[in-house]
């Protein structure tokens, strides 16, 4: 964890103050507590992620950066979310039971589409869903 302070040696009235890292000996008890919480959270994330995901975040220095990276990897940016929503809507619109598919299999597949749509911010009324399954 990096704690920053204003570099008083380089104060200028023309631009924003320059920041430098605060030496560990200058940390207050509050900074120590935050650093410890950051380490605890990192440890939890490190132990719960699989090797593949860990390799993608291991260079992140703070929990905030790890979380941002995980969010980007798992959710994607706005364009990715829009693309996922478009695909999910198309699946919903084209939902039909396949030949040889049981009702339970179709129900499980269809419900997964409904859950995905809800997760992406699109909800259908019970009536719309019932009409689609009909």
Query: Which stretches of 49-125 are DSSP H helices?
Result: 51-57, 63-75, 78-93, 103-119
Q: Tell me the pLDDT tens digit for each residue of 9-64.
A: 665 555 666 666 767 777 788 877 877 788 888 888 888 888 888 899 889 888 88
For the chain, give the percent of residues with pLDDT over 70.
Answer: 81
CA–CA separation, 114 and 91 (whole Å): 10
Looking at residue 87, its pLDDT comes to 94
CA–CA separation, 76 and 106 (whole Å): 28
Which residues, in sequence order, are CB contacts of 39 under 8 Å at separation 6+?
1
Looking at residue 114, its pLDDT comes to 94
Residue in this structure with the two tokens 């997760």, named with its chain if needed? 119
Hey, how many other C-beta atoms are within 10 angstroms of the C-beta on 96?
A: 9
Looking at residue 6, its pLDDT comes to 58
Reading phi first (left if > 0) and then psi (alpha if -120 to 50, else beta), residue 87 is in alpha
Domain boundaries, the chain: 4-75, 78-133
- The sign of the dihedral angle between the CA atoms of 126, 127, 131, 134 is positive
CA–CA separation, 82 and 89 (whole Å): 11
Q: Which of 8-22, 59-73, 84-98 has the lowest mean pLDDT?
A: 8-22
Q: Is the model's pLDDT at 100 over the cut of 90?
A: yes
Looking at residue 1, its pLDDT comes to 58
Mean pLDDT of the chain: 83
At 134, the pLDDT band (50, 70, 90 cuts) reads: low
């Amino acid at each position: 964890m990096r704690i920053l302070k204003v570099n008083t040696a380089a104060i200028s009235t023309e631009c924003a103050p320059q920041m430098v890292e605060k030496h560990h000996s200058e940390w207050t008890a509050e900074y120590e507590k935050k650093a410890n919480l950051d380490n605890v959270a990192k440890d939890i994330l490190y132990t719960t992620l699989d090797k593949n995901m860990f390799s993608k975040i291991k260079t992140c220095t703070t929990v905030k950066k790890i979380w941002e990276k995980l969010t980007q990897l798992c959710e994607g940016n706005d364009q990715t979310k829009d693309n996922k929503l478009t695909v999910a809507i198309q699946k919903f619109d084209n939902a039909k039971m396949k030949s040889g598919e049981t009702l339970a299999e179709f129900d499980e597949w269809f419900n997964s589409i409904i859950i995905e749509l809800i997760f992406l911010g699109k909800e259908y009324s019970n009536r719309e869903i019932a009409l689609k399954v009909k």
